[in-house]
A and B are shown apart, each in its own frame.
Chain A
Amino acid sequence: MFKIENLKKESLGKLPLLERREFLKMGFVVTGVFAGGSILSLVSNAEKVFASAGEFAEKYPYKPHYSMVIRQNLCIDCERCLEACRTTNEVPDYGYRTAILEKHVPEAVGQKTEFIPVLCMQCNDPPCVRACPTKASYKDEVNGIIRIEKKKCIGCKVCMVACPYNARYFNNETRAIDKCDFCFETRLSKGEKLTACSAVCPTGARTFGDISDPSSEVYRMVHQLQKRVWVIRAEAGTKPNVFYMKS
């Protein structure tokens, strides 16, 4: 029955082509498509497929289609987001749902350090979900958030290896993998509009919202031509819903 040559290949090298084929099969445009390179390719893609930007927006597969835009240059590593995340989601000291990376460029003129907030990218094509043997990791069919059904998690950590963003850790207390769920369980499902991190950020580095809504701030930030928008590790072909730009 299960011949190895009949199975889908899971290696990263095989991803982009496969994703493209899958995407064409799906017949709608998903966010990651225009995150591959410059914003110019985004617009040309959109125009090729749809008559207007409005029509384009309607094709986001989830409603609300939660997304975060990180304006990297605004991050000052005050780490209030990390604190808020820990208290809101009961994240232990050894774990994390979000982190701040530091990049040093000693030869740069002026500012020589850059802080890069990272979290689960809530990919449209999540390798973690594909890797999970028990379907404990799943993509929420309504809002596209990658969530975990704790009682199904057997702690095999395959998803941790599969994730190109290192967004997961094993929680010793719950005996399950834990990760950012855009605060769905602790805030969004209770009527809050923002994640804990974006609500507490003093500089507005993290903008959160529904990218399927053309009047939302995240939509307007991603669908413009003036500033370049990118995603981390676009080559992994995961179509992230967390976008990066500078303001």
Chain B
Amino acid sequence: MKKYFAFLLTAVFFHASAAHVTLAAPEETGHGGDIIYTKPVKGVLFSHANHVEAVGLSCDSCHDTIFPMEARAVQKNKDFTMASLYKGKYCGACHDGSMAFASNTQCARCHIGVKGFERLQKKSK
């Protein structure tokens, strides 16, 4: 009986770790993984894992209304700025201080900076 439990535990453990590995690969997670913006400033991280898995948002919460499906497409827009966010555009649609933390607070929560950007690039290589 004891042996059976030990086997079951290891099986569960392996299953869990395997699941963890699949979560790390964006194409199998059903979401877009980490999106790092480089314009207008370098190193802004949007984590799909945080928004979809931890917060529980669905794809159509943001796509295709606030953000198109194409990653970083909004970077080409001239109004992709903090000022627009404060007016409720882009991330500011939720990050207004009531739905989610306001976009004029906790700067370095999304702005991972050049250092964070380079670290993530090294990791993905």
Point out residues on A near B: beta carbons under 8 Å: 73-80, 100, 102, 110-115, 202-203
Query: Which among B40, B41, B114, B116 is the interface contact of A113 at CB below 8 angstroms?
Result: B116
- Per the bound structure, the CA–CA distance linking A114 and B116 in Å amounts to 11
CB closest residue in chain B, given A112:
B109
**B101 with A76: CB separation less than 8 A:** no
Say whether B113 contacts A111, CB under 8 Å: no
What is the CB-to-nearest-CB distance from B91 to chain A, in angstroms, rounded to a whole number? Answer: 14
B41, A80: Cβ atoms closer than 8 Å: yes
Q: How far is the CB of A181 from chain B (nearest CB, A)?
A: 24
Residues in chain B near residue A80, CB distance under 8 A: 41
Closest to B113 in A: A77
A77 to B116 CA separation, bound complex (whole angstroms): 9
Q: How far is the CA of A75 from the CA of B107 in the complex (A)?
A: 8
Bound complex: CA of A136 vs CA of B95, how far in Å?
52
Per-residue interface assignment for chain B, residues 88 to 119, with 1 indicating a CB less than 8 Å from any chain A CB and 0 otherwise: 00000000000001000011110111111000
Identify the B interface with A (CB < 8 A).
40-43, 101, 106-109, 111-116
Given contacts A100-B113, A102-B115, contact A78 B108 (CB under 8 A): no
- Interface pair B108/A115, CB less than 8 Å apart: yes
Contact A202 B41 (CB under 8 A): yes
Task: State whether A76 touches B107 (Cβ < 8 A).
Answer: yes
**A73 and B107 in contact (CB under 8 A), knowing A78-B41, A110-B101, A202-B41?**
yes
Q: Which residues of B contact A115 (CB under 8 A)?
A: 108, 113
- Known contacts A78-B43, A203-B107: A113-B101 contact under CB 8 Å: no
Contact of A78 with B101 at beta-carbon distance under 8 Å, contacts A111-B106, A111-B108 already known = no
B98 to chain A, nearest CB (A): 16
A78 in contact with B109 (CB, 8 Å): no
Q: In the bound complex, how far is the Cα of B109 from the Cα of A115, in angstroms?
A: 11
Interface centre among B109, B111, B112 (most CB of A within 10 A): B111
CA–CA, A110 to B107, complex, Å? 11
- B107 partner residues in chain A, CB cutoff 8 A: 73-76, 111, 203
Q: Is the CB of B108 within 8 A of A76?
A: yes
Residues of A within 8 A of B40 (CB): 202
Most chain-A CB neighbours within 10 Å: which of B43, B101, B106, B114? B114
Judge whether B108 and A77 touch: CB under 8 Å.
yes
